[in-house]
Amino acid sequence: MTEPQTGDGLQRPSPDFARLARRDVQVFVGGTIVALVLFLALAVSRVLGSGERFIASLAVVIGMVVGAGALAWWLAGPRQLRRARFMVLAPTSLCAGPVLIGFAVIGAGPFAIVISSAFGFGAAIAGGLALSSRRSR
């Protein structure tokens, strides 16, 4: 995905690769901001004591949409670059907290435990893949 070397010995990334990298950063930053806003909304609703179930329901829905979107974007990218694009999966893990807190507030405790386990296993697998790709270089 790089252009041939120029006279100065440097390789320039192709426009497709640059576009992919920009989109990856946008997904990462956007998902991270959404996760922080969800945490803040849950904390404020807890302190104020009003609308806590409604905010928790919103946190569950929004967090799952953001997490699924980040996962879909990672899967939609080039297969050979998946091991180098783990930054895109960060919003999935960051949104797991508000989703789990939301489930607990709504009263879906056992379901929250199952989802928490799935997020934990997913994060462990992603961490293992990232670590193995770093060692192979």
> Is residue 4 assigned to a domain?
no
Contacts of 73 (CB under 8 A, 6+ apart): 23, 24, 27, 88
The residue behind tokens 């694009």 is: 85
The pTM score is 0.74
Identify the pLDDT of residue 133: 63
Residue 51 lies in a domain: yes
pLDDT for the residue numbered 53: 93
- In the chain the first and final C-alpha atoms are separated, in Å, by 18
Q: For the chain, how many residues are written? A: 137
Residue 9 located in a structural domain = no
What phi, psi does 13 have (nearest 5°)?
A: -70, 150
Q: Look at the chain and report how many structural domains it folds into.
A: 1
Residue 7: its pLDDT value, please?
52
d(CA 41, CA 73) in angstroms, rounded, equals 26
Q: How far apart are CA 104 and CA 97, in angstroms?
A: 11
Answer yes or no: is 83 within a domain: yes
In a domain, 8, yes or no: no
What are the per-10-residue average pLDDT scores of the chain (137 residues)? Answer: 53 78 92 95 91 92 90 86 82 88 86 76 74 64
The Cα–Cα gap between 97 and 19 comes to 30
- Does residue 5 sit within a domain? no
Six-digit token pair at 65?
Answer: 């949409």
> Does any domain span residue 110?
yes
pLDDT in the model for residue 65: 92
Burial class (CB in 10 A: 0-12, 13-18, 19+), 121: exposed
Answer yes or no: is 38 within a domain. Answer: yes
Check residue 33 and give its pLDDT. 96
Beta carbons of 95 and 67 less than 8 angstroms apart? yes
Domain limits at 118? 15-135
